[in-house]
Amino acid sequence: MASSSAKQVSGSSGSGLQINTGSSYVIKPKTMVIPFEAFEVQVESLVDFASLKRNGMNLDALMAAQQMVPYINMLNGPTYVKLVKDLWVRAEVYDLDAAKAEELQAVARDPNLRGKPRKEMGLKPFRQTEIRSAMMGIPITIIEEVIAKACRVAPTGRFLWNIS
């Protein structure tokens, strides 16, 4: 998998080994201690809206009002359990706390960086919470917009009261 030109980088927290070959191939360490075989993936089952309608619960208008019809239709697609497991055992949340910890690590390495912006520290700007992982050596970043696009809905939210 990794060539002899692989660059090995060990995290300062001792969390594991990250191997980069080139600029895009990454082997991420597992972030979960659950054995792969014991890690259960719950595959979503569609709600039978026709059956609910026959029993007096018509949810069509509610789903349409919440713009959830494309998402409900998407749930009919296949689930690739091994890929899901591989993604999630290597996933980590990169949020504001993680960004601040990253800044503190940069300052610990070079105290002259204290008080400087992330760009001057050599860090990418923090924009929003991300889920970071790697699959088949390809880094993957999941943000709210990606989830909305996969669900075929707008990346905005609405909370509706008293929908008839």
The pair phi, psi for residue 133, each rounded to 5°, is -155, -170
- pLDDT tens-digit series, residues 52-111: 888 998 888 888 888 888 877 777 677 888 888 888 888 999 999 999 999 999 999 999
How high is the pLDDT of residue 79? 81
Taking the C-alpha atoms of residue 70 and residue 76, their distance in angstroms, rounded to an integer, is 11
Contact assessment for residue 151 and residue 67, using Cβ atoms and an 8 Å cutoff: no
- Decide if pLDDT at 6 tops 80: no
The pair phi, psi for residue 13, each rounded to 5°, is -85, 0
What is the mean pLDDT of the segment spanning 145-159? 79
- pLDDT tens-digit series, residues 107-146: 999 999 999 999 999 999 999 999 999 888 888 899 988 8
pTM given for the model: 0.58
Taking the C-alpha atoms of residue 150 and residue 55, their distance in angstroms, rounded to an integer, is 31
Contact assessment for residue 163 and residue 156, using Cβ atoms and an 8 Å cutoff: no
- Decide if pLDDT at 21 tops 70: no
- Decide if pLDDT at 11 tops 60: no
